[in-house]
Amino acid sequence: MVKPEEAVIVNALVRQALVAAEEVMGSHGLHAVLRTSGLERFIDNLPPDDLNPGIKASEYAKFNEAIEAFYGRGGRGMLQRIGKASFQYGVREQAALLGLAGAALKLLPEKQRIKFVLNSLVNALKKTNPQVEAWVEEDGDRLAYVEATCAICNSRHSETPICHLYVGTIGEAVLWASGNRHRVTETHCLAKGDPYCRFEIGEIIEET
């Protein structure tokens, strides 16, 4: 397994996160946060849409931390919204990479649809970056998305789970696949000292 300090995020994913953050926070908000997280080189200068290493995972974690600090109590909701926008960007711009283009899920039971999209996320991440260790956990009726190389909390410490952006992305993916908004709970987090970040898919909280 790659050491946390050597972990990187590829350009395409950095680009996706920055576009999503700008959609949600506006360019003013994004620029402020890029400055406080030492990423001012990306102000009005998105990385290319390729799979070369873009930034260190620890820098990406700092970016997440800066958003949380910038919005105070609203930070968590903001990060979840950026996570949602990030999945929408993926569907819009990278459906083929995500393996979602032309997916025919309508006839499958809901659990199979959710499993499909979670596996698609895992596969896409692994395809973009061989360092990634992620998998889908299935225990009876319960599904969870697990990543042992989560970049959001890379090198961070917290008493409670902090990967809110990931919660947003996974929730949006589940909504895309199943048509329903489900509760997504981060039950384990590397920042707490757990061996991975684990996101459990819970009950439907909003039918659409």
Instruction: By CB under 5 A, name the binding residues for Zn ion.
Output: 150, 152-153, 163, 197
Q: How far is CA 42 from CA 11, 46, 68, 106, 139, in A?
A: 11, 6, 19, 40, 41
Is the CB of 35 or the CB of 157 nearer to Zn ion?
Answer: 157
Burial 164-200 (b: 16+ CB within 10 A, else e): bbbbbbbbbbbbbbbebebebebebbbbbeeebbbbb
| CB closer to Zn ion, 177 vs 190 | 190
CB atoms < 10 A from the CB of 139, how many? 8
Of 113 and 188, CB closest to Zn ion: 188
* Nearer Cβ to Zn ion (110/137): 137
- Please report, for residues 19, 164, 179, the alpha-carbon distance to residue 106 in angstroms, rounded to integers and kept in the order given: 30, 29, 10
CB of 173 to Zn ion, least distance (A): 16
The CB-of-172 to Zn ion minimum distance in angstroms stands at: 17
Least Å distance, CB 147 to Zn ion, is 7
